[in-house]
Amino acid sequence: MGNVLANGRVVFRHTMEDWLNLHEVSKSECQQILLLGDADFEYVDLKKPGKLELSTDEIWQLASKVFLASYTIGHEVILSVEENCKVHFFDGKIEKNRSFTVNEGGNGYPYIQCCHRGNIEDLITAQHEFSHAVQIVASQGRFVAPVLRETCAYLGEHSLLKYLNQTNSQWSSVTHAAWKRNSARTHEKFDRILLEALEEPQTPYDYNWNYPLARVLAKEANEHLPEDLLWGLFRGETSLRQLIDKLARN
């Protein structure tokens, strides 16, 4: 994993080879997973997303409600994330920051920075980051590989779509459209980056490799795996190898 710079210095940076080893997957398995994603990819019109008249508090509470309705287990974790995580909502129309979640916000709980544009995408973004926080708290320090972290975040997004549909929410169809658009963006932007990197084992690690696999795995897991196995992903009890094997059996 050493990369030699022009001045002859060697810096240690992880590579594609390390990433595959860490996740215990092969190049051909990754290619197969991406192909599976191709099948459900559809072109969506990139119209402007609808407005959303919700406060940031209401958006955060909804993210929690979605989780509570989706899982019969883990409610203590979910409620503790809602109550204790520090969340900074930034105005996505002004600031070009990224949304992210980090393990420690100084109070033993994750810290979240979350984009708030005042449109329907806010629900998806908040649900994604809330899901990262749930995974961090639920896994209690166990190592969770990056593809699985993003798989958990996408699982949360699936829960949001299901919840809005089941509660006949006024936002259901527009959120679904916005989610499809996000999916299409991930597919277009990152699948190619990953496919190219898979051809060159020494390519320096890029976090964006994690999204395309996670997107497909979350969809498959959401459709085929029972609740306890899904929650096991949040708890960091299932490796990517085990997840792929379980999906192959279902």
- In the complex, minimum distance from the CB of residue 138 to Zn ion, in angstroms, rounded to a whole number: 15
CA distance 118 to 184: 21
Task: Kindly tell me which of 53 and 67 has the beta carbon lying closer to Zn ion.
Answer: 67
78 binds Zn ion (CB under 5 A): no
State the sign of the Cα–Cα–Cα–Cα dihedral 167, 173, 178, 179.
Answer: positive
Which of these ranges, 84-92, 148-156, 229-237, 239-247, lies near Zn ion under the rule CB under 5 A? 148-156
| Buried/exposed code over 125-160 (b: 16+ C-beta within 10 A; e: otherwise) | bbbbbbbbbbbbbbbeeeebbbbbbbbbbbbbbbbb
Q: Are 173 and 50 in contact (CB under 8 A)?
A: no
Q: Are 170 and 192 in contact (CB under 8 A)?
A: no
Residue 15 DSSP label: B
- In the complex, minimum distance from the CB of residue 150 to Zn ion, in angstroms, rounded to a whole number: 5
Relative orientation angle of helices 56-70 and 75-84, to the nearest 10 degrees: 170
Encoded one letter per residue, x for contact with Zn ion by CB under 5 A and - for no contact, window 150-189 reads ---x------------------------------------
Which of these ranges, 1-9, 105-113, 149-157, 230-238, lies near Zn ion under the rule CB under 5 A? 149-157
Encoded one letter per residue, x for contact with Zn ion by CB under 5 A and - for no contact, window 106-145 reads ----------------------------------------
Q: Are 213 and 16 in contact (CB under 8 A)?
A: no
Backbone angles phi, psi at 91, to 5 degrees: -75, 105
Task: Kindly tell me which of 17 and 206 has the beta carbon lying closer to Zn ion.
Answer: 206
- In the complex, minimum distance from the CB of residue 81 to Zn ion, in angstroms, rounded to a whole number: 15
- In the complex, minimum distance from the CB of residue 153 to Zn ion, in angstroms, rounded to a whole number: 4
Task: Kindly tell me which of 153 and 161 has the beta carbon lying closer to Zn ion.
Answer: 153
**Interface residues with Zn ion (CB under 5 A)?**
153
